[in-house]
Amino acid sequence: MKKLFLLAIAVIGFSISSNAQDIRLGFKGGVNFATLSGNDYNSLKGRTGYHIGAVVQIGLSDMFAVQPELIYSAQGAKFRGFGSEQKIDVDYLNLPVLVKFKFAKFFSAEAGPQFGFVVNDNYPAGSEPESFDLSAAVGAGVEFGSFFGQLRYNIGFTDIVDNVEAKNSVFQVSVGYYIF
């Protein structure tokens, strides 16, 4: 009985791992249209930046996949202050973990949490940005063979500066390539 139970677990484990063999690794890059939202920042202009990084797509079935990414993202905003234009530049190493729903052969919708870690900042004197940012990512994508494109909106849940209501708000346009 014990051997039959172990054999059943081995067969189930093998079948689950064989379904997850659809793993694709790729790279992507694109443009960010970033700003800050919140009551404490209401007259900001957006910052146009970039993002670049790696993507792993793990197929769970024909219609669903999990897609973790590791992305360097230039974010922030601009405002008029002290007689000139001031910049709020905060660059992140973002780790979105998305669930993808695939439909119509090459279209997909994606959503999930994104964890951001500050790697570079140029913030006005007197304040330092928080080192961690939690946001939600929602978007859509297309795939044509090894090439893919994505549109995504990231909305921040955490304030980027302590005791100031200001959250990241980033629209991204990406193109990428799966190397395998």
List, for residues 120-136, the tens digit of each pLDDT value.
Answer: 988 766 677 899 999 99
- For residues 64-74, give the mean pLDDT: 97
- Share of residues in the chain with pLDDT > 70 (%): 82
Tell me whether residue 15 is in a domain. no
User: What torsion do the CA atoms of 107, 46, 74, 152 make, to the nearest 10 degrees?
Assistant: -10
Look at residue 1 and tell me if it is in a domain.
no
Average pLDDT of span 84-88: 78
Burial class (CB in 10 A: 0-12, 13-18, 19+), 56: middle
When pLDDT is cut at 50, 70 and 90, the band that residue 7 belongs to is: very low
- What is the pLDDT at residue 113? 98
- Report if residue 6 sits inside a domain: no
DSSP tag of 44: P
**Quick check: 96 pLDDT over 90?**
yes
- Paired tokens of 49: 């930046």
- Cα(177)–Cα(29) distance, rounded to whole angstroms? 10
The predicted structure's pLDDT at residue 125: 63
pLDDT for 15: 45
Three-state SS at 146? coil
pLDDT at 175: 98
pTM of the complete model: 0.84
Q: Does residue 4 form part of some domain? A: no
Give residue 177's pLDDT band: very low, low, confident or very high (50, 70, 90): very high
Q: Are 20 and 60 in contact (CB under 8 A)?
A: yes
Instruction: Please indicate, yes or no, if residue 37 is contained in any of the structural domains.
Output: yes
Mean pLDDT in residue range 26-46 = 86
pLDDT confidence of residue 8: 46
pLDDT score, position 16: 46
Residue 79 lies in a domain: yes
43 pLDDT exceeds 70? Answer: no
Q: Is residue 105 part of a domain?
A: yes
Distance separating the N- and C-terminal Cα atoms of the chain = 42
Gap between the Cα atoms of 11 and 4, Å rounded: 11
Instruction: Give the three-state DSSP class for 39.
Output: coil
pLDDT score at 129: 84
| Domain count within the chain | 1
- What is the CATH classification number for the domain harbouring 131? 2.40.160.20
Cα 144 from chain centroid?
Answer: 21
Q: What is the mean pLDDT of the chain?
A: 86
Within-domain flag for 159: yes
**Domain of residue 74, residue span:** 22-178
